Structure 1
Amino acid sequence: MITKTSIHALIKLMDDPDPMVVQHAREKLVEYGENIIPDLEVLEEDCFIDPNQLDNITRVLELLRFQRVKHALSTWLKSDEKNLMQAVYVICSYQFPDLTIQDFTAQFQSLRHQCWMEINSRQTSFEKVEALNKIFFDEFDFVRVNELPHSPFEIFVNSVMETKEGTDISLGLIYSLVAQSLDIPIYGVTTMNNRAPFVLAYMDKDNLLPILDWGIDNNGVLFYIGVGTKGLIVDPKQLREIYLSEGLPQSRAQFEPSPNTLIIKKYLKDIKRSYSNQAQFRYKLKDIEELLELFR
């Protein structure tokens, strides 16, 4: 049985001069798993605790919190639904361990409500995107950050919801999550190519493609939305011409909605790149690599 007394005793053992004792104590605490995280957090906030013990608690907490994130992401990958909101939350909770799913989803409520007020069933697909753009870019002032390298806080969705400044993928995730929650068929399109932009695809739910006749096989996509260009609508032919001029691949995957697993993998890759560009975050790279291993 796990008790606060036994947890505290193991924390004290981590001060032992014998490295074997320290290792055993740490392994035992990690073995207890994420259930003891709340107890360790209480100990961490105890202002009377010995500084060495505080350091030990912090190290064990980091291990257990990462274990929690890795387990949650592994469970998500094995699930049938692969809910995008859930996965984005799990990734954000790595950097922000105190973030709850309730607080995370609450960040979307005001934005979603405003969009819902502007959307109605009589609008065309183009009019719906125009309404979403008005709320997203004009009323809420979301903006794409152009300066490189990107900060992790411009990529983690929960922090972008606060600052309103993000990258193509963080803004695209927010935009598509809100749209999908309103039953608007907007999905992310991405590849592992770092040069390819993260764009959104509006799928043809109403069989309008034969009428529009873009003159190109567009895999069921009505048009694309560039979140980096304030929601600019791009037709399939234009997008292919842009990719051709940039020397980007012309594979089918480049032009159709990506599986949520690929989107989350790309999201982790972008977080890894942002960590590697800032010295204070480089110690986290091993953790991100371990999370990326789950996708192989």
Structure 2
Amino acid sequence: MEENKEISALFHLLDDPDAEVYNVVSTRIIDYGKGIIPNLENLWENTISEEVQERIEVLIHRLHLRDLSEEVVQWDKNAHQDLLTGALLVARFQYPELATATVYQEIEKLRRNIWLELNNYLTPLEQVNVLTSILYNYYSLRGAEVGYQHPEEFLINKQLETKRGNAIANGILYLILSELLDVPIRAINIPRQFVLAYFKSDYDFTRQSTDSLYKAEFFIDPMSGQVFTHKDVENYFKRISVPPVPSYFKPLSNKRIIQTLLEEFSKCFDTDKTRYKQQELMGLAEMIVEQPEDDPNIDVDPPPPTDPE
């Protein structure tokens, strides 16, 4: 953007110690939109004040956030909330210039490798074994407990780059591939867990059900791809002293999954210096509008046990 007198004057006021003046200046700069980012980057490179540099970084972040917020709202309004698109939106909060083509290429390679091993004669367990084998053995994806000291483990671009993600990120990747391959796997709302379930082929995901527990063939831990039985899960509920009510086994919508990702990711920013990011991520989560009956509370803390037995 060509720098005019007003932009030059605003830039000169970025070091003003008066908070009210800075708020007015920053709001006016944000009003210019993303086109002013190159000017801000040039100013950052030619400034020696660390305080001004930090203010510039925050302004650039806010400019990216404004665009991202609009895209989240649009994703929410779509007829179908694509899970991969939602995961990429979350990743772009931290990496606004993310080249999404690389992610799509990696996903397609994984999809094709799994598809080559699938056929119509496989049992549900055999289908899942193919998915798990490609993802965790051939591709060498590793699982990590949900830890808020490692924000990159929530983000699909870093997950594919490092082949390491936490239970939520790995679960989302598993769900993305399952949807692309028409394998009926969905996330469910077991307390303190992010767990996947393989549903029977005649399950109608559009209908409310009071006996969802008995519709799932088995359950999958996205940390490792390990399969759990109904008995394993019943034992887990006994261990945590929580009754296994039907709502815990109801498939979660893609909206709710991305809300969960945003909410959990926000917990990585819990210092005085970064808490503004936590608030922004929670704000993005609130832009996703769920129907009350489809909005169960997901609790993935503390980390899931490795063996429900």
TM-score, structure 1 as length reference = 0.81
Contact in 2 for aligned 1:44/1:54 (Cα 8 Å): no
Q: Give 2:256's aligned amino acid.
A: L
* Deviation, structure 1 residue 173: 0.6
Contact in 2 for aligned 1:187/1:202 (Cα 8 Å): yes
* Deviation, structure 1 residue 242: 1.9
Contact in 2 for aligned 1:142/1:164 (Cα 8 Å): yes
Tell me, in whole angstroms, the C-alpha distance in 1 between the residues paired with 2:42 and 2:16. 25
Task: State the SS of the aligned residue for 1:5.
Answer: coil
Contact in 1 for aligned 2:72/2:288 (Cα 8 Å): no
- Which deviates the most, 230-239 or 258-267? 230-239
Is the counterpart of residue 28 in structure 1 residue 28 in structure 2? yes
* Deviation, structure 1 residue 161: 1.3
Q: Determine the structure 1 residue equivalent to 2:216.
A: 221
Q: Give 2:3's aligned amino acid.
A: T
Is the counterpart of residue 159 in structure 1 residue 158 in structure 2? yes
- Which deviates the most, 86-95 or 140-149? 140-149
Task: State the SS of the aligned residue for 2:219.
Answer: strand
Where relative contact order (Cα < 8 A, 6+ residues apart) is larger, the structure is: 2
Contact in 2 for aligned 1:13/1:22 (Cα 8 Å): no
Q: Determine the structure 2 residue equivalent to 1:106.
A: 105
Tell me, in whole angstroms, the C-alpha distance in 1 between the residues paired with 2:214 and 2:39. 53
Q: Determine the structure 2 residue equivalent to 1:97.
A: 96
Cα RMSD, aligned residues only: 2.9
Tell me, in whole angstroms, the C-alpha distance in 1 between the residues paired with 2:103 and 2:58. 25
C-alpha distance 30-121 of structure 1, shift in aligned 2 (>3 A): same
Tell me, in whole angstroms, the C-alpha distance in 2 between the residues paired with 1:167 and 1:135. 18
Contact in 1 for aligned 2:266/2:281 (Cα 8 Å): yes
Q: Determine the structure 2 residue equivalent to 1:40.
A: 37
Q: Determine the structure 2 residue equivalent to 1:253.
A: 247
Say which of 223, 237, 240 aligns to 1:243. Answer: 237
Task: State the SS of the aligned residue for 1:114.
Answer: helix
Q: Determine the structure 1 residue equivalent to 2:279.
A: 286
In structure 1, stretches of 5+ residues that fail to align are 208-215
Q: Determine the structure 2 residue equivalent to 1:203.
A: 199
Q: Determine the structure 1 residue equivalent to 2:13.
A: 14
* Deviation, structure 1 residue 253: 2.4
Tell me, in whole angstroms, the C-alpha distance in 2 between the residues paired with 1:219 and 1:33. 52
C-alpha distance 18-218 of structure 1, shift in aligned 2 (>3 A): closer
Q: Give 2:285's aligned amino acid.
A: L
Is the counterpart of residue 275 in structure 1 residue 269 in structure 2? yes
* Deviation, structure 1 residue 100: 3.3
Task: State the SS of the aligned residue for 1:222.
Answer: strand
Contact in 1 for aligned 2:64/2:96 (Cα 8 Å): yes
- Which deviates the most, 72-81 or 127-136? 72-81
Say which of 2, 5, 8 aligns to 1:4. Answer: 2
- Structure with bigger helix share is 1
* Deviation, structure 1 residue 146: 3.8
- Which deviates the most, 235-244 or 41-50? 41-50
Tell me, in whole angstroms, the C-alpha distance in 2 between the residues paired with 1:106 and 1:171. 17
Task: State the SS of the aligned residue for 1:109.
Answer: helix
Say which of 264, 270, 274 aligns to 2:258. Answer: 264
C-alpha distance 242-16 of structure 1, shift in aligned 2 (>3 A): closer
Tell me, in whole angstroms, the C-alpha distance in 1 between the residues paired with 2:235 and 2:57. 52
Q: Deviations over 1:37-68 (max 9, x none)?
A: xx514651578633456555423211111112
Tell me, in whole angstroms, the C-alpha distance in 2 between the residues paired with 1:26 and 1:147. 36
Tell me, in whole angstroms, the C-alpha distance in 2 between the residues paired with 1:71 and 1:63. 13
C-alpha distance 48-78 of structure 1, shift in aligned 2 (>3 A): closer
How many residues align structurally? 278
Equivalent residues in 2 for 1:55-70, closer than 5 Å: 55-70=54-69
C-alpha distance 146-5 of structure 1, shift in aligned 2 (>3 A): closer
C-alpha distance 17-46 of structure 1, shift in aligned 2 (>3 A): closer
Contact in 2 for aligned 1:13/1:25 (Cα 8 Å): no
Contact in 1 for aligned 2:212/2:246 (Cα 8 Å): no
Task: State the SS of the aligned residue for 1:275.
Answer: coil
Say which of 220, 225, 248 aligns to 1:231. Answer: 225
Q: Determine the structure 1 residue equivalent to 2:206.
A: none
* Deviation, structure 1 residue 189: 1.6
Equivalent residues in 2 for 1:133-144, closer than 5 Å: 133-144=132-143
**What's the % identity of the aligned pairs?**
22
* Deviation, structure 1 residue 169: 0.8
In structure 2, stretches of 5+ residues that fail to align are 204-210, 290-309
